[in-house]
Structure 1
Amino acid sequence: MLVSLSYFIPVEILFTYGCYYAACAADPGIITKDNLQKYMDMYPYDGLTFEPRDCSTCKMPKPARSKHCSMCKGCVARSDHHCAWVNICVGHNNHRYFLLFLFALWQFLIYAVYVTFSIYRGKIQQWGLDNAVIKDVLTGKEIPLSFRKAMLYILQEDRIIGALGILSAIVCVIIFLFTLYQLYLSIRGMTTNEAFKWEMVQDGVSKGEIWKFEDKEVKNEIAPSTATDFFWRDLDMDPKTGRIAPMKGARMVRDFSEIPNIYDRGLLKNLAEVLFPAK
């Protein structure tokens, strides 16, 4: 079986390194003066996770869902995170290649675990451990050697392959869970950066810092550039009552579920946005 599958090894290596190169070499979506307007038009500001403001480093407006990266030396459109594995940000243009690299690495590790297991199973058969028995010194009864104990015996005799197999299995699980997390965020219309921002919003709701405009005129006067009626409010305490001072034309949000994620366009559209980003 190992001989018949041996041709997969160069294919696996080339595929994994090809995906890695694509993730490293692709432009993550660095925002420049030439493409600034395109990214400004792509997503509106929601007033909570993203508000209209300029990047103090790039000296340009920051489009919604973007983030400045000091290591990439620029603002990245729909920034997910800066990845040390590929030494570049994961963003609007290369998120799909990053997911492909995770998949390639995951299935390569599965193959590594399978090969390690097959080598050990072959040694068990070669050494006759599959038919070995253990004799109880007290009763004289012969007990068949279990597969688990046979594997542990082989592991003692050949620790290098065993260590590689165990390491591959552990990393395989980690990569699988991380890939699931990335896909979960993608289908929710969210990035890793935005997931942290939404945690801050949820905390803001519990502290009474998230408010909603009830009067359109007040909203247009205070936050005309945001696409929702929700906003952060610096809390002012009424010195007489010791309570949060009311605000004309707005009310405090008391339930986090009341706040929509305007970047969540539905499962299929969210996935399409990551896999087939707008040019």
Structure 2
Amino acid sequence: MGVEWVLVCHGLVTALVVVSFLCGRWPIFEGTFIQRIHYFLTFGFYDYFLRFVGAVFGAKGADAVLSVENFCCDRPNPLLQIIYLAIIGSTYYFVVKSCFAYIPGYYLGDFHRYTSFLAVAVGILLFLLTSFSDPGTVKAQNVSHYLSAYPYDNIIYEEKECSTCKILKPARSKHCSICDRCVARFDHHCGWMNNCIGEKNTRYFMAFLLWHFLLCMYGTVAIGLVLAGRLKELKVVYILTVYYGVENSFLDLAPHVVQWLLGSYNTQILLVVFLAIVAMLLAGFFGYHAKLCLSNTTTNETYKWQDYMDWQRKLKEAQASAEALKQSINGMTSEKRPVVSKWRSFFRRSPLEDVVVVKNNIYDKGFINNIWEVISPLSTRRTLTQTKLKSS
């Protein structure tokens, strides 16, 4: 029973860490230990570690840690790429070592030995495509091309020069401080890819997320079927009911079956839990980016739009407050003022409740055109090149 309890505790701790890290800033967890764990994981641990190093090794030790942080976080480096390859390679290795001995089995055919390898190979190929493809680097030689592809909306994008590259910044572009280049339709810099996600490789990035979600689900279901096949082939349910007198019902059999699986196939159970957790994380990340693609918005633009909407809301609230104050003063100075019921004035809507701020995204052309823009970037389309040649 010792191994079973260790596995249960491991699963609970893993779930707590994942939920705290991803959801600790949600309002529902405000003031709870989930929020405190999130703060510790994202800021507190590193801050305490830096202080500890400074106290033990002095300023030189702290500077060494900061230099490592600069290398890992503030400049291009292949560290996370190596970690990704190590994770996917070691996971597949453990799947082969622990599961291929039971394939073919009761529920799985022999072809899964080859389809699993093919699925992993396609995932690595998408990783390499996203990592080493051009995200849409804006240079002096092609800046006019991107200016034609992405006009300014004069809301969150206006004509301005990049202070680093000394060229006009096309709308929807951003200068990446890590890669030190301007990227068209900039979404974010992905450390796992050691590359920016921009106009030309968003399609590969989305395919990478979707494929790896399906890959994790495939692994979860396949290993589950391996375990189910072992239950069937070894007649575990029959032995429990006939020889041990366990009632033939799910509630009675489940604890005994789980105990047997944890004791006999703990590696496979850990793989199922790991792949299921990663699949859920990838599903959430893919869903978030899919929503952005459907509305033709980037991660970078969500912050710009949020700042703009907040500014517009405050401006309109100030205007509404000023207008309400003006009407109140005019009402006080008028000769005849109608009597207003206290109940009516109590339930009367505040002018601030009528303040509505509309997001006017000119780049949103309908979800079909938005998806097509991700699949076929504007700057690569022949029609845009022909139009540019005619105009010149």
The structure richer in strand per residue is: 1
Counterpart contact for 1:204–1:210, Cα < 8 Å: no
Aligned to 2:160: 53
Normalised TM-score (structure 2): 0.56
> Residue deviations 1:147-194, cap 9 Å, x none?
643134302332222111111011111111211221111110111111
Question: Which of residues 349, 353, 356 is equivalent to 1:255?
Answer: 356
Task: Structure 1: give runs of 5+ residues left out of the alignment.
Answer: 212-236, 242-252
Counterpart contact for 1:134–1:145, Cα < 8 Å: no
Tell me the secondary structure at the aligned position of residue 315 of structure 2: coil
Normalised TM-score (structure 1): 0.77
**Structure 1 residue runs of 4 or more that deviate by more than 4 Å after TM superposition:** none
Aligned to 1:248: none
More off after superposition, 259-268 vs 73-82: 259-268
Partners of 2:211 and 2:246 in 1: CA distance: 46
Task: Structure 2: give runs of 5+ residues left out of the alignment.
Answer: 1-107, 327-353, 381-392
Partners of 1:131 and 1:269 in 2: CA distance: 57
Partners of 1:189 and 1:275 in 2: CA distance: 12
1:192 and 2:192 are equivalent in the alignment: no
The structure richer in helix per residue is: 2
1:144 and 2:248 are equivalent in the alignment: yes
Q: Which has the higher contact order (CA 8 A, sep 6+)?
A: 1
Tell me the secondary structure at the aligned position of residue 100 of structure 1: helix
Aligned to 2:198: 91
Q: Calculate the aligned-residue CA RMSD, in Å.
A: 2.5
Which amino acid is 2:169 matched to?
K
Partners of 1:206 and 1:153 in 2: CA distance: 60
Equivalent positions of 1:1-279 (< 5 A) are 1-133=108-240, 142-144=246-248, 146=250, 148-149=254-255, 150-208=257-315, 254-257=355-358, 259-278=359-378, 279=380
Partners of 2:124 and 2:112 in 1: CA distance: 19
Partners of 1:192 and 1:132 in 2: CA distance: 56
Partners of 2:155 and 2:180 in 1: CA distance: 25
> Residue deviations 1:232-257, cap 9 Å, x none?
xxxxx9xxx9xxxxxxxxxxx94212
> Residue deviations 1:33-82, cap 9 Å, x none?
11111111212222232222211111211111001112221010000111
Partners of 1:182 and 1:25 in 2: CA distance: 20
Identical amino acids, percent of aligned pairs: 30
Counterpart contact for 1:51–1:64, Cα < 8 Å: yes
Partners of 2:150 and 2:177 in 1: CA distance: 23
Q: Name the count of aligned residue pairs.
A: 235
Task: Tell me: CA distance 1:269–1:74, structure 2 relative to 1, closer, same or farther (3 Å).
Answer: same
Larger radius of gyration: 2
